[in-house]
Chains A and B, each alone.
Chain A
Amino acid sequence: MNFNNEMLEHMADTARIGLSEGEKEELLSTIQEIISIADGIIDADTSGLEPMEHVTTLKNVFREDKVDEPYTREIILSNASETNEGCFSVPKIVE
């Protein structure tokens, strides 16, 4: 299927990115170009190949179950734009 405007809007919604009409137009054409680059693998033969999920050859890298001093709440909240009662605040969520 072609990556059309409807798909662009759907993907932008999924990624929670608000776009202006102008942005949509610009993005649509460049995204289509990049998808055609990506389509370069469609005919590749990948039979017998296992997906490469990790670039490192390491395995079983663990930490011990130990508790460290926590950061102060002041530091934890220090980069937030809005806080309230020691919490991060968000617009009211109605469930």
Chain B
Amino acid sequence: MKLHELDISQLSGLIGRKEISVPELTRSVLDRISEIEHKLGSYISIDEERALVRASEVQEKIDKGEIKSPLAGIPMAVKDNICTRDMTTTCASRMLDKFIPPFDATVISKLNENGAILLGKLNMDEFAMGSTSFYSYFKKTKNPWNSINTPEVLCEGTPVSVAAGEAVYALGSDTGGSIRQSASMCGVVGLKPTYGLVSRHGLVACASSFDQIGPVTRNVRDCTLVLNAISGKDHMDSTSTGTSIDDYSKFLGKEIKELRIGIPGEFINNKGLLEEGIGKVFQDAVNTLSGTGIHFEEFSFPLMEYVLPVYCIISYGEISSSMARYDGIKFGYRAESCEDLIDLYKKTRGEGFGPEVKRRVILGTYFLSAKQYEKYYKKALKLRRAITDELEKALEKYDVIIGPVLPVTASTFTEHAGNPAMANEYDAFTCIANLTGLPAMSIPCGRDAMGYPAGLQLFGRRFREDILLKVAYAFEQNLGEVK
């Protein structure tokens, strides 16, 4: 078995037993990157030298018994919208092409304390507006499951790096479904935690009340290990919340047959949205799980019809505001030879932003404008409340709610990545978790007719990642890994 195919627990065991050293492991993942990165394009930047220096330091600390974390010495990478001190953080935008934050995101500081080895920064859609890297200023990242016989599928760098062995695990961000959608298409595990469980300090804002950082890993156990390290209250993020759970891995392997699991009828009976191929993968997975005695129940989620419009209106409104600071003055791209201030603003933002950012900013500006505010934004905030109440009520009855991650296959998804209205519709199943702040994750559940992986989505109760992960782990045991 090759080192880059092992998971966190296995590698941590090898390091602990001194069967491999941290520099050796780091070197081996860097070699894997050299081997395959030119085909995939997961990374925007890789800092080999820094990673190797860090590897030696961490090895020393492990030897002295100064770090005990299972993440100690494990090479990983983060999406390029998470601030890293003295390392570019570009958000895959021309606007932040050369931006070097003078501080680390809280998740980075926490991972550093755990002895993580940061290899580099991963490709994404510009300012996290999408899940395919179609809108990256730098390059398009390819799904590692691409083959000559299938249409090419694009993906964010985050899950690709994990699926292809270019990182043992990665951190992504999820505003409308990025972590789960891209994990789903690559056959890895992705978690969007409850809003507030992981500090957003250092995450470049897309839509502030939707954004959340989460782990992308090879399996559910790895997911718990990373979540242990990055979660918790942070005084730099007013919306972050502490939790009494210190180790999510201890819930794995517990019996789940007693639990009640709900499936919203609107997910699977929605013939217009749900592609047949995906419906089948999902149904097969449910059948397999039912066969082991797990009980599923369909329920009705009538407000589903408002999810997409509400998501669009509020998130685009927030985006229009969080993108306003990019003006060429304090940081980032600045257009040349500007006559006056207005000219500086318009040229800088016209040249520095790509089409999807511009579209969302203009739409958000419109939804927030005085004349439209009541009609769109305020009404959407009210419906956000109703949708949240309805889903929380369902979660009083069900311990977990499940459905497909995407309504379409990876190839259909990629095909329409450049079609804003359709791309939007594909967020319908995932953005529910961002609208409500509830935790949700994607675990692999099979492959579509083209051979691309597809994910099963699980929604949990607020701050009850313990139940969510316990169920996900049990499912994973029965569904097997995507090979």
Q: A residues within 8 Å of B by Cβ?
A: 3, 7-8, 11-20, 23, 26-27, 30-31, 33-35, 37-42, 44, 46, 49-56, 58, 61, 63, 71, 75, 78-82, 88, 90-93
Contact = CB atoms under 8 A, between A and B. Distances in A.
B305 interface: yes
B407 to A, nearest CB: 15
Given A16-B327, A31-B362, A93-B341, A44 B306 contact: yes
A15 B345 CA distance: 9
Contacts of A93: 340-341
Contacts, number: 166
A58 B310 CA distance: 23
B308 interface: yes
A39 B334 CA distance: 36
A78 B196 contact: no
A35 B187 CA distance: 34
Main SS of chain B's interface residues? helix
A75 to B, nearest CB: 5
Contacts of B306: 40-41, 44
Interface stretch (B140-148, B235-243, B396-404): B235-243
B241 A37 contact: no
Given A49-B383, A91-B341, A80 B350 contact: no
Nearest to A9: B362
B420 interface: yes
A68 to B, nearest CB: 12
B28 interface: no
Interface of B: 98-100, 102, 195-196, 209-210, 235, 238-239, 241, 305-306, 308-310, 312-313, 320, 324, 327-334, 338-347, 349-351, 353, 355, 358-359, 361-363, 365-367, 369, 375-376, 378-386, 388, 420-421, 424-425, 436-437
Contact of B379 (A13, A46, A50, A71): A46
Given A11-B365, A75-B102, A55 B195 contact: yes
17 contacts: A15-B361, A17-B361, A27-B358, A30-B420, A33-B421, A34-B312, A34-B359, A35-B366, A41-B313, A44-B383, A46-B382, A49-B386, A50-B382, A55-B195, A79-B331, A80-B330, A93-B341
Given A41-B379, A50-B382, A17 B437 contact: no
A16 B312 contact: no
A48 to B, nearest CB: 9
Contacts of A15: 320, 324, 349, 361-362, 365
